A and B are shown apart, each in its own frame.
Chain A
Amino acid sequence: AQSVTQPDIHITVSEGASLELRCNYSYGATPYLFWYVQSPGQGLQLLLKYFSGDTLVQGIKGFEAEFKRSQSSFNLRKPSVHWSDAAEYFCAVGASQAGTALIFGKGTTLSVSS
């Protein structure tokens, strides 16, 4: 079955500390992987995506993610968290076939403490 698992429902980090959000996927075809961020009451903003090539991808707002095929993981990282990073983060997987919808994880809520 195709699925995305985000094991951490809620994470709190101190401002300036590093962050890692976990994402594991189960997908039969070659996966396209995405991280989106959602602020309260807002839509989703694309942080970064992985299709192929270099397994370490850089995104906006200082985020990066590493694709590890052997672990079926696509963890999101940021070396120094800012208070404005507090939001809901969703990992998603899609297929290369045109028109295929994304499968989303349940999301991880990030809180940033001062």
Chain B
Amino acid sequence: GAVVSQHPSWVICKSGTSVKIECRSLDFQATTMFWYRQFPKQSLMLMATSNEGSKATYEQGVEKDKFLINHASLTLSTLTVTSAHPEDSSFYICSARDWGLAGPGGETQYFGPGTRLLVL
């Protein structure tokens, strides 16, 4: 159980285009999902916290108009990189908490396999 998928796993796009990345919890409901960005050989940097049915909370320094997050259902959150530029090239990872687990177990985050974005 507790599987999180991401789609696509790889995407190459031209500068100026927009890219949508999907994050799905396959076998549990997730009221909260998190979006991270990871640069090569570095740790994960939290970009935003996505809550189902409400606006995402962005970390300081993350442009909310550039990285649009929509958490439309308990199993799906999307990250749209708008007007992508080469500096947006990175590895994007989402995670989800299992809302159905009460107590500390519900605080465990399960990660998707990541999406590698390359902007030319």
- Could you list which residues of chain A lie within 8 angstroms of chain B, going by C-beta atoms? 32, 34, 36, 41-46, 49, 51-52, 90, 94-96, 98-102, 104-107, 109
Contact = CB atoms under 8 A, between A and B. Distances in A.
A51 B107 contact: yes
Contact of A44 (B42, B93, B105): B93
A104 B114 contact: no
Nearest to A91: B43
* Dominant SS among interface residues on chain B: strand
Interface size of B as a range: 20 to 34
A34 B108 contact: yes
Contacts of B44: 44, 90, 104
Nearest to A45: B111
A96 B107 contact: yes
Contact of B46 (A95, A101, A105): A101
Contacts of A98: 32, 106-107
A43 B112 contact: yes
Centre residue among B42, B44, B95, B106 by max chain A CB count within 10 A: B44
Nearest to A49: B108
Of A51, A90, A105, which is in contact with the most chain B CB atoms at under 10 Å from its CB?
A: A51
B96 to A, nearest CB: 11
